[in-house]
Structures are given as structure tokens and as C-alpha cells.
Amino acid sequence: MPIPTTSYAHVRLTVTDIDRSRAFYDAVFGLPVAFEVPPGADEQTREQLGFLFGGVIYRLGDQLLGLRPVATDRFDEDRTGLDHLSFRVGSRAVLDDAVTVLDDLGVPHGGVKDIGAGHVVEFRDPDGIALELYAAPA
């Protein structure tokens, strides 16, 4: 019998430079931080938050998105593992606004594309991880 899941709880991406990645994800998505080691944390707090590995976990609706700074190589969607990470947005108009945000941040992207089942904007994070914004058809 299959396991009855209801949604993703979290996704964690491994990154090479946590400061660079945090700056990118903060600027592009502006998600609230759910977990991070506070500056000046005592040893007990650092131990409790050891699962972060010096990274951060953001809140994304009911799910979590984490960054873990342990990668030593570059992302490749043609290897076993992650192909891309897609974020749902509310409408095609939000995608148009997102293109402006990405342009203002100097983030290369493929523009808004009609894929039949909706519209997407594709771009990459500083480690080359393939990201996508998706809007369902109206």
C-alpha cells in the first residue's frame, strides 16, 4: 500500500557559498527565516541547530526551503538528483513583475514562456541550480 503523503514538508539545497546564496535568495524571494543560528549563539543553541550545518531554512507557505553550505561542486540537472525547483506564483502578471525584479538584480532568465500548461520563467541561482517560477493558466 502506498504511503499517504499530503505535500512536501521541505526541500534543502546544497550550496557552495552560504553568504552569496543567502543574498541571492533574500533578494529574489524575500522569504522569512524559519531557522538559523543567531549571531553570538551559545554552544547549546549551536548544538540544537546543528542540523542547519551553518545554513538557513526559510518559510515558504506551509513548507520550508533550506540552504546547506556543504557542496563542493557545481549543480548539473543531468546528474542523478534535482532537475530543477519550481515555485508557484499567483498569475501571469506576477511572472511579468518577476522578470522586472530579476532584471533589476541582474539575474539572467529566459523571459516568460508559454508551456501550454501555464507560463514559466526560468533562471539559475549562484550555484547554477535551475529555478523556475510557474503560473497556472487563467
CA of 22: how far to CAs of 1, 5, 6, 52, 57, in Å?
Answer: 40, 30, 29, 13, 10
The CATH number linked to 35 is 3.10.180.10
36 and 67 part of one domain: yes
**Where among 49, 73, 97 does a domain terminate?**
73
Q: Are 130 and 109 in contact (CB under 8 A)?
A: no
69 and 88 part of one domain: no
78 occurs within a structural domain: no
State the pTM of this model. Answer: 0.89
Residue 15: how many other CB atoms lie within 10 Å: 25
41 occurs within a structural domain: yes
Output the pLDDT for position 130: 95
89 and 52 part of one domain: no
Backbone angles phi, psi at 66, to 5 degrees: -115, 155
99 occurs within a structural domain: yes
Output the pLDDT for position 37: 94
Output the pLDDT for position 70: 83
51 and 119 part of one domain: no
Output the pLDDT for position 82: 86
38 and 105 part of one domain: no
Q: Please give the residue range of the domain that contains residue 99.
A: 84-138
For the chain, the residue count is 138
**Where among 73, 92, 127 does a domain terminate?**
73
**Where among 73, 97, 119 does a domain terminate?**
73
Output the pLDDT for position 3: 82
Output the pLDDT for position 114: 96
pLDDT in tens, 102-125: 999 999 999 999 999 999 999 999
68 and 115 part of one domain: no
**What pairs with residue 109 in β-bridges?**
123
Residues in the chain with pLDDT values less than 70: 71
CA of 48: how far to CAs of 51, 70, 73, in Å?
Answer: 8, 19, 28
